[in-house]
Each structure stands twice: as structure tokens, then as C-alpha cells.
A and B are shown apart, each in its own frame.
Chain A
Amino acid sequence: MTWIGEDDSAAVDVVVNGRPTAMRVPARRTLADALRDDGLTGTHLGCEHGVCGACTVLLDGRPVRSCLTLAVQAEGADVETVEGMAEGPELHVLQRAFHENGALQCGFCTPGFLMLALGLLRAEPEAPPERVREVLTSNLCRCTGGGPIVQAVLAAQRELAGDVA
């Protein structure tokens, strides 16, 4: 076993939004800071202690707090951030639903909520409304209170279900 210092850089190979990426980061750098330093500033830091959820990204498909994840923990993983949601100019169903349901005001919490909802709807496409609300309580929105976000995710869920049928 080799020990490395907190500011010694480590090589991390990850796939970010489908793009293989070789990062060199200090061992103590969080995944959130590493992504942001890489130009992906859509991942926001609201508390840096895992409560607000603004930094939520998908790690191998699961929503995680990137402020509590070290970049080196993402070695070999598939990382998805808000920048990867839209297909070119075509917004993802969830992004459109947020816009149409008044689910954002200042927008700071929005990327985290979008990634949380994306992870949920992929893992549990038929999650009942109570489950959707429960999962969305993991993140905080100060502007809307969160009710409109629940409505938006339910609307996106209906639309996605319709597309499958």
C-alpha cells in the first residue's frame, strides 16, 4: 500500500457525460470541485456538508452528493451532470417540465434537483407520487418551497410513461 499526501495529485479516469476523462487532482479534492474545475460549473455547492443537495450528480446512475464524494472515489465510474441532460438544443423532458411548472426561480438548486429526479425516474419509472415527494425531500429549494418541483417531476413522469406506451 502506498500513502499519498493530501495535496499530492492522483490520476482519476472517469467517464463524464459519456466522455472518457483523465483527471489529475489532489487526493483531497471533492468530486464537486474537480468537476467544477473541469468547467462543469452547473454542479453547485450550497452547503458542502451533504444537506442541501445542490451538488447532486449521478455516479454509475445513482444520485450522490458530489460535495461528500472525493474525486478519487469516482475512479472508473460513469459520472452524469446537468450539462449532459439536454440533447443539443433539445431539452430533456425533466428540464422542460421544470420550466413549465414554475419549478425554478433563482435556479441554484435546479441542477441538483434535476439529477436527483433523473436518477429516480430511471430507477423507479413508476414511483407513486408519495415516493416521488419523499425522494425530492432529499434536496432543498428556498425559492419555491419544493411543491412545484414535485409537480414538475410528476408531469415529466407522465410524459415519459406516455412515450413508452
Chain B
Amino acid sequence: MTRVRGLVGADVERLADLPLLTGAARYVADVHRDGEVHARIVRSQVAHARIVGIDTADAEAVPGVLAVITADDLPDVRIPIRLPLADTPRARRVLQPPLARGVVRYVGEPIAVVVATDAYVAEDAAELVDVDLDDLDVVAEVATAADPGMPVLHPDLGDNIVSSYPLHHGDVDAAFARADVVVRERLRMHRHTAVPMETRGAIAEVDPATGRLTLWGGAKVKHAVRAALGEMLSMEPADIRIVEVNVGGGFGVRGEAYPEDYLVAFLALRLRRPVKWIEDRTEHFVATNHAREQEHELEIAATADGRLLAFRDRAWCDQGAYARSQGTLPELLPALHLPGPYRWEAFALETTGVLTNRTPVGTYRGPGMTEAAFVRERLLDVLAGRLGLDPAELRRRNLIRDDDLPFTWSLGAGSAPVPPISYQSGAFCSSFETLLERAGYDELRREAATRSGDTISVGVGVATYVEVGAMGPFEDARIAPAADGSFVVHVGVASLGQGVETVLAQIAGDELGVPMDRLRVDHHDTDAVPMGFGAFASRSTPVAGNAVLLAARDLRTKAAKLLGAEPDDVEFRDGHVHGPGGASCPVQDVGEGRGRFDKPHPTFSFGAALSVVEVERDTGRVRVVRHVVVHDVGRAVNPALVRGQLAGAASQGIGAALLEELSYDERAQPMATTLGDYRLPSAGELPDIEVIVLEHPAPGNPLGAKGAGESGMVGTPAAVANAVADALGATGPQVTTLPLTADRVRALLREAT
């Protein structure tokens, strides 16, 4: 008997498109509960101030207003850190209260909540809450935040340092002493963030009979949010249900436990009515996690013939005003990614998380790795210029060789405890060569030289990276057969638009030998799926996907045992399971298939980006005319969806490199609070992204999959920056910060002449 195979590896159509195309999909703003009322958050307009008094009387007097609450109405609780590896004693001392207690520390910090029967009325009344603030000096820059004499955001911490991650490998001083060339720069990645098209939102309701709380609007890490709310509300997590409806993009920022999740839950418990909050876009720009801002003092030592010896890096990574649910990830992740895919004899780095009076920082697609790739790859191009070497050739000479894998960095005394930085599989050199060949690198270089003239300069840039993904600790899956011959896959993932339900159904269908229309993936509700770690660190396919595969194998094995057959010889068809020789039984007699996939260590995967830009010399305007990304995904379950993920991430990376910036003035006032100020790239600013998907299967997981959802981002800002620098000339002023807006590029062009 042959099994229907071939779903894994095929461009299967996305399962969830129909409601999205017809307007029938239900996002959190579309959820209505009987008797619902609307919350509006009163937020700080200043970056740092003592709260002298809050007068809520005028707001409370507005017809339709049901309640106005401040921190005095709440227990003294903080949003906890989700990941043990990012949880430190110091980070715990700077966690955020849901409403400011005594002091506001960033523009946008919640101070009070107004609840009214109508959202328009709630917004009007919120304007009437009078907050008396006594201004304090601000910390508005990452580079000086930890300096002596700066205002201290959280006095009992003593300074503005959250934590530091030093990592050492080899004898750095000896390597620098041997160097023919040393290059150093201060490089800065700017503040920007995900900006999904749907803002956040939540609606909370208490069942009057049972006291159970339901929160709609979950995403990403529903079970962790359930645990956080349980802790903060003093409720058993089992009495809390988090429901995910359609989600309009996540990219790392949506679905963590935020102040507003707690506030709507608290208010629903207090008012005994469903409470709804939908973030508006201006709130989103100050309330939802920011990302990326870091400054690095990086130096690289090399030989005259272009062999990399060692690097030293000292980095300051912005945490904003509080550590949120992601704890110390803003400084931990760049530390893990600075060495990248090169054969360093030695390195010494230290990344330090610092507090500033700005919106707290979390993870955005490719967190830490995108920043690390930018500073390292940018300085490598500076080095290539100094050596008179082609930038691709410099990388070619120094990438970890294909037969050196697996490869693990040994970390010396004084290094922080971090997960092993271990590259288990892949082919860095040949993958990079594939990119250069398919893009026609040598020809692109010749064309750039001939096309550059007085009005336009053409540049080519490359960047390589390794990316951590497939983080554990584990994922459970359960496959339940139904009487009609269909199967429901229960698994604790989150669908943020990436197509995960399609991919997981493919994996189950492939193993069970049943077609896609017989499969449904249930992941929406913490009541239906008892445990799950969610959608972050490009983990859904490699971790949950393997759990689904194991559950499907378990179901097949159980069915075979029941029929006295071999697992490979049973067939699921028409609500029955059939064995050789006509034996069969209803599929429901088999019970459920269960699988658990443990992932004690994350997987690192390799990728690279190549960008070709045109710089208008008169205006400084940069246009990306070609952009190619390559990534080793281990195994592409659905190549079309993988390509879509890589291209979408690269598009965001081009936006980051050229347009997007969350800038602040010297009083730490945000300058970008609308989509007019914060420029997202449109189809007019983006080329059609070219994607190369490589498959070097990961050992130790049956699917062989690695992460893919973030990869197109990681090398993109670096490649674009290198291309612009190339267009401006290797000996000219250096590109050391992003975004490369027309203003900045004009300034660089003026400097050059």
C-alpha cells in the first residue's frame, strides 16, 4: 500500500486566505461582547516627571463614563519577564507597572484609564483627566545613558545599567598585536520597529457564573500572557483563557504581555462588564515595543592579505525606560550574533543594556542579529576598502569553511553564561558563492562602475550572518481524528499571518497520507491547547512542526498496532483506517496521536544578502534597484510561503535601511508618532525581492527544518548600507548610521566634496 506523500516540500495553497479576501475575517476590533464598554488610556506627554496629582473629576462627570482609574486603584504589580534566559535580578528591579506609580519615565506611559459606554466618549473624557507633573531631567541618548552624573531612572538601581554580557574567545591582545591593519568605527543602529498594519487591541470578559476571565486579542505567546496575567491578577492560570482571533501582523512586537492586557482584564473584573481597548496608531508609536537602537565601538584586526584575526566590541543597547516581558534580550541577542559566520582567532565583546526615557524596547524580526550584522558587515567593508580587497573576496577568505561544521565557539573565563553559540549544520562558503553566482556579482560590479556618473552613483553591497532560531524549550501536539475522516491538529502556536496553519497541516497530512482538506489546525484558544510556547525566534516550523510530525507518526503507529500491521502499511481513508488484507476500523477507535518535540538548544542558520542601489547625487535619494537574499532553511515545508516570508522580511529591512526611524528630541519627545512621520516602504520604494532558498537539513530534528521567518531581514540593512557606501566611494566618508534618508546621504555627499 502506498502512502499519499509529497505535501512537505510543495507550494500548497494557503488554507486561511478565504475569509481574509472576503472581509469575513475577525480581528480583535471586530469582536463584540454583549454590554461591552470602551477603555481609553491617558498617557504621559512628557518623558520624565514626578506625578504630583491626578484630577479625574471632570472626566468622571462626562455622561457615559463608568470609571477612571489610576495606579492608586491597582495592586503594586509588574509585568514579569517571559524567558528565563533573559531574566536577571537587576532587570527585575526595572519592570513596568501597568500604570505609572509616582513617576512617569517615557512619553506614552499609561497614567490612567477612562472607561465609557462609547469609544468616542471615552476618548473625549480622557482629554479631561488633569495630570499635574513636575518635570525631571531626561536621559535621551543611549551612548551617554550610563555616564556618571546622568539622571537615574530607577533610583534603587543606582545607575542606568540593566545588565552586561561580556564574551571572550581566544587571546585578543595577542591577535591585535600581530595585526597589519586595524579598523575601528563607532557604529549606530537607529531606533525603529515592526509597525504591523493592525494596531494592538484586547477585549476582556468575566463569566459571572464561574468567575473565569477570557481575553480576546492574544497572539504570539498566549500561554505566557496567561501566566503573566495570572501572576498579576492573583488568579490561577487555569481560570484565564486567552483567545487569538485573526492577527494583522506581529513581527515580534504584538502578543507579549503589555500594560493594556492587564488593564482591560483588571477593569473587566472590577466592572463586571466586557472591556475593550483598541490601540490607535499614534498610541502604537509610543506604547508598543520599540526596537534596535544600539551603539557599538567596534574594532577589527586583520593581516595585510585579508585574514581576519580578532575583534573587540563595546556596545550600548537601549532598553528604553523599563525592562518589559523580554527582559535583557536587547543586549543578550547582539552578544550572541557579533562573531557571526567568520573564523576569528579571538574576540572580546561586551554588550550593555541601558535605560533611557523612551518607550521600552523589545524584539522585532531578527532582533539583535540585525544590529550585529550591520555593525560587523559595515566595518568589514571599511576593512576591505583599506586593504584594497573586493568585499566579497574578504568574506570568501574568512567564512567558516563548509567542512569545519559543526562549529562551536569556546568562551573563556569571565564570559557571561549564554546558550551555546554552535553552528550545527550548513555550508556557509558555498551558500555565499551561490548568492554571488545567481546575482551575477562580478557583472554587477562592472556595471556599477560603468553606470556611475555625475548624476547617479551605483553601488553593490553584500552582508552575511548567522541567525539564532528554533528556540525551545519544547512544543506539544495532539492529532484528534473526527468521525467524518478529518483530523484536528492541536498545537500551541500563533498565527500572525505567516501561514503557519498551512505548514503544520502539510506536515500532518504528509505523514498521515491524507489531503489538505481533511486537516484543521487548532491553535487559537488556551483552553483547547493546554500548553504552548508560541511564535517567536523562528520556531514554529522547526519546533511545533516536529511535534506535529511526531504526533502524526504516533497516530499511525497506534493505528497499525490496532490492526496488527506495520505503521507504513496503514491507510487513513473515509473515516477509517485500513490495513493490508482488508482489515479496517473506524479511525476514532485509534484515539489520538501525541507528539512532543524537545529543543534544549536553539539552532543557528546561515544567510546572506546582496543589494544594488542607485544614489541620486543631486538629491541624495537612494533607490534599491536589486535585492537578493539567500537563507539556509534546513528544509522548506512550503517553498512559496518561505519565499514570501524572506521577501517580506527583506522589504522591512529596506525600510529600516532607508526610511524608518523613531527619532526623539533632546527632551526625549518622540518625533515620529504618525505614519506620516514614520515612513513605511510601499511598492514604489521596493524592488521585487529575489529569494534563494537553500536546504541543508538540521540534524537532530526529523523534519530537518531551521528557522526562516526572520531571515530576510537580518542581512538586509547591512547590505543596503554597504551598497550605499560603495556608491559613495570606499575612500569617502563612512556610512556609520542608518537610515540612509536623502538628508543623510546628501550630508555624506557634501562631506566627500
Contact = CB atoms under 8 A, between A and B. Distances in A.
Partners in one complex: yes
Interface of A: 7, 26, 28-29, 36, 40-49, 51-52, 54, 81-83, 85-86, 91, 95, 98-99, 102, 104-111, 114, 133-134, 136-151
Contacts of B675: 47, 49, 51-52, 140
A99 to B, nearest CB: 5
Contacts of B281: 46-49, 52
Interface string B12-25: 01101101111111
Given A29-B120, A106-B198, A107-B16, 6 more contacts: A41-B23, A104-B20, A142-B249, A142-B251, A142-B648, A145-B651
Given A106-B497, A108-B249, A142 B21 contact: no
A141 B251 CA distance: 13
A91 B22 CA distance: 8
Interface stretch (B107-115, B432-440, B680-688, B721-729): B680-688
A45 to B, nearest CB: 7
Contacts of B681: 145-146
Interface in B651-690: 651-652, 654, 674-676, 680-689
A53 to B, nearest CB: 9
Contacts of B195: 142
Given A106-B497, A133-B683, A136-B683, A44 B280 contact: no
Interface stretch (B26-34, B264-272, B340-348): B26-34
Given A133-B684, A144-B651, A83 B198 contact: no
B399 to A, nearest CB: 28
A29 B647 CA distance: 38
A102 to B, nearest CB: 5
A78 B136 CA distance: 55
A49 B682 CA distance: 17
A46 B23 contact: no
Mostly helix, strand, loop or mixed at chain A's interface?
loop
B684 A145 contact: no
A82 B22 contact: yes
A42 B22 contact: yes
A133 B648 CA distance: 17
A147 B25 contact: no
A42 B496 contact: no
A140 B644 contact: no
A49 B676 contact: yes
B506 to A, nearest CB: 16
A103 B251 CA distance: 18
Contacts, number: 175
A46 B198 contact: yes
B20 A142 contact: no
Nearest to A102: B644
Contacts of A147: 647, 651, 683, 686-689
A99 B14 contact: yes
B23 A82 contact: yes
Contacts of B641: 102
B21 A98 contact: yes
A42 B648 contact: no
B472 interface: no
A54 B651 CA distance: 19
B1 interface: no
A39 to B, nearest CB: 9
Which 7 pairs show the lowest CB-CB distances between chains A and B? A42-B23, A106-B497, A145-B651, A107-B20, A108-B248, A146-B683, A137-B684
Interface in B681-704: 681-689
Nearest to B495: A106
B24 A42 contact: yes
23 contacts: A41-B30, A42-B22, A44-B27, A46-B199, A47-B675, A48-B280, A83-B23, A85-B22, A85-B23, A86-B21, A105-B498, A105-B648, A106-B196, A106-B198, A106-B247, A108-B248, A109-B197, A109-B248, A137-B682, A141-B197, A142-B251, A145-B683, A148-B647
Contacts of A104: 17, 20-21
Contacts of A111: 23
Contacts of A47: 281, 674-675
B731 to A, nearest CB: 34
Contacts of A109: 197, 248
B21 A114 contact: yes
Given A49-B675, A136-B683, A99 B197 contact: no
A88 to B, nearest CB: 11
B123 to A, nearest CB: 11
B457 interface: no
Contact of B644 (A28, A41, A144): A144
B486 interface: no
Contacts of A85: 22-23
B677 to A, nearest CB: 10
A105 B20 CA distance: 9
Given A48-B280, A108-B198, A142-B652, A86 B22 contact: yes
